Amino acid sequence: MSRYDLAVFDLDGTLMNTKPGIFPALRYTIEKMGLRMLDDDTLSTFLGPPVQDSFAKHYSLEGEILQEIATTFRDRYSTVTLFEAEIYEGVPELLDELIKRGIKPAVATYKREDYALKLLRRFGFDSYTDVMFGGDHENILKKKDIIKKCITAAGVTDLRRVLMIGDSTGDALGAEALGVDFVAVTYGYGFKCADDLKNIKHIGIADTPSDIVRFFE
């Protein structure tokens, strides 16, 4: 019997490769705002965190312009390139196996909730779970808040029965803030190897989606 009742997944870089849709929207936003273009390696660091945070970091920006940038990006992404994405190989089988074992999947993403749900439903994730939460337009919610929404909606009261799975420091810190176990995946955009996790609290590493199943045995 698994020690967990709820598996909370990050979206970008954990369940899906969303880079094909995000990169064009980022480049469009950078050009429209008159900012210097960034190389692909730098743009890759935008995958996962709130878009305002990434622009603030790489362009030393603050204040209202960040909301304008976020709106420009989101309008382009949600209407033009949102569905340019793919489910990672092995994810459907993973979710099927968890459900078979009586474990409920959930999704907690920084992606704004309205178009996160559009994306998840387009790719059929609503056939696996009805517990899917995302970020807000004002970037007020932190990852721990979004994870907590999943836990509450799933009706889980014992946090020891929850496992968070993600590819970024934000996912790890959100889990740690709640006292929830965390598994890091290295096939996404954030963590690439064990060395990246030296200062990250985690119970294990998954190099592929199929590796995740073993943490529920």
SS (H, E, C) 98-151: HHHCCCEEEEEEEEEHHHHHHHHHHCCHHHCCCCEEEECCCCCCCHHHHHHHHH
Same domain, 106 and 68: no
> Cα(7)–Cα(25) distance, rounded to whole angstroms?
30
Q: Which amino acid is at 36?
A: R
- The CATH code of the domain that includes 47 is 1.10.150.240
Same domain, 35 and 127: no
- Mean residue pLDDT across the chain: 96
Give the structural domain span for 56.
Answer: 19-81
Residue 133 lies in a domain: yes
Same domain, 164 and 72: no
Run of H or E including 94: helix 91-100
Per residue in 121-137, pLDDT tens?
999 999 999 999 999 98
Residue 1 lies in a domain: no
Same domain, 11 and 27: no
CA nearest neighbour of 14 among 114, 81, 95: 95
Q: Average of pLDDT values for 18-47?
A: 96
Same domain, 13 and 28: no
Residue 128 lies in a domain: yes
pLDDT range class, residue 75, cuts 50, 70, 90: very high
2 vs 212, higher pLDDT:
212
Same domain, 42 and 29: yes
> Cα(204)–Cα(202) distance, rounded to whole angstroms?
6
Domain's final residue, options 66, 81, 96: 81
Q: Is 36:19 a contact under the CB 8 Å cutoff? A: no
Same domain, 194 and 130: yes
Per-residue pLDDT, 99: 98
Residue 82: HSE in the Cβ half-sphere, 13 Å Cα cutoff:
21
Same domain, 134 and 203: yes
pLDDT range class, residue 138, cuts 50, 70, 90: confident
Q: Which amino acid is at 101?
A: R
Q: What pTM does this model have?
A: 0.94
Please tell me the total count of domains within the chain.
2
Q: Which amino acid is at 2?
A: S
For residue 84, is pLDDT > 80? Answer: yes
